[in-house]
């Protein structure tokens, strides 16, 4: 069933008004008829079953039928993902959203090949947010991941997280993700730093460690930057399932 994220201001006690881009999708792409059912999720993460009652001049009106509940909690995982080539970064955004990431911080490293022009940054951020929204709808999530503006590595907000990990290809066998992150850590706010294709410079690694980041490895293979983020999310999900 199709899922759409809606603004609280568009909701009443009995229904919701859907307009703009989502209206186009409902009316012209899905070609929904009166009586069609969808899931809508408001800004508080509350999901409801709704039925299409009418098409207005510039919107569609859906009446609420059933309360499906809200977020059930879970792991708060943020990934500071290095800027990489456009298609790979957007693929990472989509798949990380499907795998449950809570927040993504596009991050500039000294070895980042990709640079974003400050004048182009707002448009890029809007596109990143749209990709995350559509992936969250497709995967039936009750929340859209937070996508932050491009941030320099030295400006990452360590203070907002309980644990910060930096994934490093030269980490020793004694530092695998599965040992460094414990089941108890899953109740905390976690930030994972993933470097670019050229790797993290020694000076950057030293500064991250000085600030309190814990180094961890992602197995014996050298992974692409976007693959590393998928590894992290999948491994943490396995740790969570084992705990439960």
At residue 78, φ and ψ (nearest 5 deg) are -110, 145
In the chain, helix, strand, coil percent, each to 5? Answer: 35, 25, 35
Among 17, 34, 69, the domain boundary falls at 69
Torsion angle (degrees, nearest 10) of CA 44, 46, 49, 55:
-10
Is there a single domain that holds both residue 28 and residue 98?
A: no
Co-location of 150 and 232 in the same domain: yes
Which residue, chain included where needed, has tokens 């491994």?
Answer: 235
What number is the average pLDDT over the span 60-87? Answer: 88
Check residue 241 and give its pLDDT.
Answer: 77
Per-residue pLDDT at 120: 87
Helix axes 86-98, 225-243, angle to 10 degrees: 10
Same domain, 213 and 117: yes
H or E segment to which residue 103 belongs: strand 103-108
Residue 150 has pLDDT above 60, yes or no: yes
Q: What local confidence, expressed as pLDDT, does residue 2 receive? A: 92
Average of per-residue pLDDT across 190-218: 93
CATH of the domain at 80: 3.40.1280.10
Shared domain for 104 and 219, answered yes or no, is yes
Q: What is the rounded average pLDDT for all residues in the chain?
A: 91
Measured CA to CA, the distance from residue 132 to residue 148 in angstroms comes to 12
The confidence score (pLDDT) of residue 174 equals 56
For the chain, what is the domain count? 2
Are residues 52 and 108 both part of a single domain?
A: no
Confidence of residue 240 (pLDDT cuts 50, 70, 90): confident
Helix (H) or strand (E) holding 170: none
Residues 148, 224: one domain?
yes
Domain end: 69, 98, 116, which one? Answer: 69
d(CA 188, CA 200): 25
Provide the domain limits for residue 100: 76-243
Task: Give the pTM.
Answer: 0.86
Residues 17 and 88 in one domain: no
User: Which helix (DSSP H) or strand (DSSP E) does residue 151 occupy?
Assistant: strand 151-152
The residue among 4, 1, 39 whose CA lies nearest residue 136 is: 4
d(CA 90, CA 148): 14
Q: CA 96 to CA 80: how far, in whole Å?
A: 12
**Do residues 131 and 160 share a domain?**
yes
Whether residue 234 sits in one domain with residue 179: yes
User: What is the secondary structure of 72-93 as a DSSP string?
Assistant: ----EEEEEEEP--HHHHHHHH
CATH code, domain carrying 32: 2.40.240.20
- From 24, 45, 69, the end of a domain falls on 69
Q: Give yes or no for a contact between 171 and 205, defined as CB atoms under 8 angstroms apart.
A: no
**C-alpha dihedral (225, 231, 237, 241), degrees to nearest 10:** -170
């Amino acid at each position: 069933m199709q899922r759409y994220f809606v603004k609280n201001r568009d909701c009443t006690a009995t229904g919701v008004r859907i307009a703009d881009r989502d209206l186009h999708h409902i009316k012209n792409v899905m070609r929904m008829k009166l009586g069609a059912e969808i899931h809508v999720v408001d800004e508080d993460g509350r999901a409801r079953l709704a039925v299409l009652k009418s098409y207005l001049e510039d919107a569609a009106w859906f009446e609420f039928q059933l309360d499906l509940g809200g977020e059930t909690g879970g792991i708060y995982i943020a990934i500071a993902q290095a800027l990489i080539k456009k298609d790979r970064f957007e693929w990472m955004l989509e798949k990380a959203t499907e795998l449950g990431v809570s927040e993504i911080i596009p991050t500039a490293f000294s070895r980042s090949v990709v640079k974003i022009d400050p004048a182009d940054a707002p448009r890029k951020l809007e596109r990143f947010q749209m990709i995350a929204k559509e992936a969250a709808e497709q995967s039936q999530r009750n929340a859209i991941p937070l996508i932050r503006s491009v941030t320099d590595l030295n400006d990452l907000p360590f203070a907002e997280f309980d644990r910060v990990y930096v994934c490093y290809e030269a980490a020793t066998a004694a530092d695998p993700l599965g040992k460094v992150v414990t089941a108890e850590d899953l109740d905390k706010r976690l930030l994972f730093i993933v470097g670019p294709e050229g790797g993290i410079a020694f000076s950057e690694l030293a500064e991250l460690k000085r600030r309190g980041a814990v180094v961890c490895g992602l197995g014996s293979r050298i992974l692409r930057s976007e693959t590393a983020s998928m590894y992290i999310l999948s491994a943490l999900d396995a740790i969570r399932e084992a705990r439960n």
